A and B are shown apart, each in its own frame.
Chain A
Amino acid sequence: MDKKLEELKREYKNTPIPKDLNKVVQKAIKQKEKKPLRPNSKWIIGLAAAVVIFMVSINTSPAFAKSLSKIPVVGSFIEVLTVLEIHVNENNYDADIKIPQVNNFENKEFENSLNQKYLDENQKLYESFTKEIEEMKKDGDGHLRIDTNYEVMTNDDLIFSIKRTVVETQASAYTTNKFDTIDKQKQIMLTLPILFKSDQYIETISEIIKKQMREQMENNPGNVYWVSDAGIEKLPEDDFFDQIDADQNFYINENHKLVIAFNEYEVAPGYMGAVEFVIPTKKIENILVGNKYIH
């Protein structure tokens, strides 16, 4: 072999090996096949409560609001602000909660109902967080962290899609997303049943997704979905993805394509994260009510 190559090879072989490598390898092998439990199902026993110190700060993130206002849109544009942040920071217990508020809707009633919903879901989360840590403290051990955030997926003349994310961390993190997609002109919430002529969409979309899952698994050995006929027969039948829910998480992306979203562990192992599938419009145009939103 060429001298230069030998020199390169020597250098390559001299890559320092961290001393935890073996530990990491052993751990990864032991963790095999354990489908992580949803963190919530553990940790409940206890004694003695303590006080949670928390801070509520009103925050209107002006930079973010400003960047949104710059989007040139015809007609009314919707702004999203963080109106309320809750921070808890106490030993092993952390919460970082950001509550969005939408405004500039013509239909104020609709606007209020959305904002109330965002407030309620975060409040509920916060309450269950405080309850859970009280119980954990009785036990004297454990840690818990909750982060919530949101992201505007689409905001154009017609469509406003917003994603809210909750990450709960105990031993491992568990992410859940929720989406709202709104027709800005009519100021109504879009749902899958509204978008499609009949509930045929459930089957059609499910089949499209299964096909995409199998293709991805074929093309990349690192991608795993719990789907039948893809070589992971070992899983019990019930664990396979069968159909989307009638009100499955979805949003409409900036290209006006339908995107179906799943939460972590819903259809794939944890390292795959919360997965999404873009549905090719061609394959669903026959069953869509029209091509106004999705094209």
Chain B
Amino acid sequence: MRKNKSEDKVIAFIIENQENFYRLAFSYVKNAADALDIVQESIEKAILKKDLLRDNQSVKSWFYRIVVNSSLDFLRKNKRMSLVDEDTLEYYRSGQNDSYQDIDLRRSLEQLPIKFKSVIILRFFEDLKIDEIAEVLNENKNTIKTRLYKALELLRVEMNEEH
């Protein structure tokens, strides 16, 4: 059996970071059983596709990408995604000028469109770098920066850190 280095690397990484993957999956699907399924599915996918991992690519962003995509697929299949349309978005955006002040913070994170929620979670909770997030979400760095900025704006959180 050809058991190469990249496989060992991937497996070690998965075992070490399993709780992070679980939390990430849970943040999307909000249900322990489904989150476990997603972790399991992601690992199976990763191992099947580990040969696609380029040498210079980080295992970290590659695997996060699989977890995020599996979660999104799951939401799509189960139609639980609460999409926010432009109007609602506009409503939140304009919210910063008026006087609603005590929107429950967690609820407001949940109410962010998925793409904004993803950057917040990956950047601040999972501590990924901007270019890692770009790889995970398959976008370019500038898009991620803009999205992050907008997400914070929507959450009405001050951004006082460099990236």
A residues lining the B interface (CB < 8 Å): 1-2, 4-5, 7-9, 11-13, 15-18, 20-22, 24-29, 31-33, 217, 219-222, 224, 231-234, 269, 271
Q: How far is the CA of A224 from the CA of B51 in the complex (A)?
A: 12
Residue B160 at the chain A interface, CB threshold 8 Å: yes
- Return chain A residues, CB-CB under 8 Å to B121: 12
Q: Which of B22, B42, B44 has the most CB of A within 10 A?
A: B44
B residues lining the A interface (CB < 8 Å): 2, 11, 14-15, 18-19, 22-23, 26-27, 32, 36, 39-45, 47-49, 51-52, 62, 65-66, 69-70, 73, 105-106, 109, 120-121, 124-125, 138, 155, 157-161
- Return chain B residues, CB-CB under 8 Å to A224: 45, 48-49
Closest to A231 in B: B52
A-B residue pairs in contact (CB < 8 Å), sample of 13? A4-B157, A13-B125, A15-B27, A17-B19, A17-B22, A18-B22, A28-B40, A29-B15, A219-B138, A221-B52, A221-B62, A221-B69, A232-B51
Cβ-defined partner of A232 (8 Å) among B39, B48, B157 = B48
Contact status of A8 and B125, CB under 8 A, knowing A2-B157, A15-B27, A17-B22? yes
Cβ-defined partner of A18 (8 Å) among B32, B73, B159 = B32
Q: Which 3 A-B pairs have the closest CB atoms?
A: A28-B43, A32-B47, A231-B52
A94: min CB distance to chain B, Å: 22
- Return chain A residues, CB-CB under 8 Å to B32: 16, 18
Contact A22 B155 (CB under 8 A): no
B162: min CB distance to chain A, Å: 12
- Return chain A residues, CB-CB under 8 Å to B48: 32-33, 224, 232, 269
Contact status of A21 and B52, CB under 8 A, knowing A13-B23, A15-B26? no
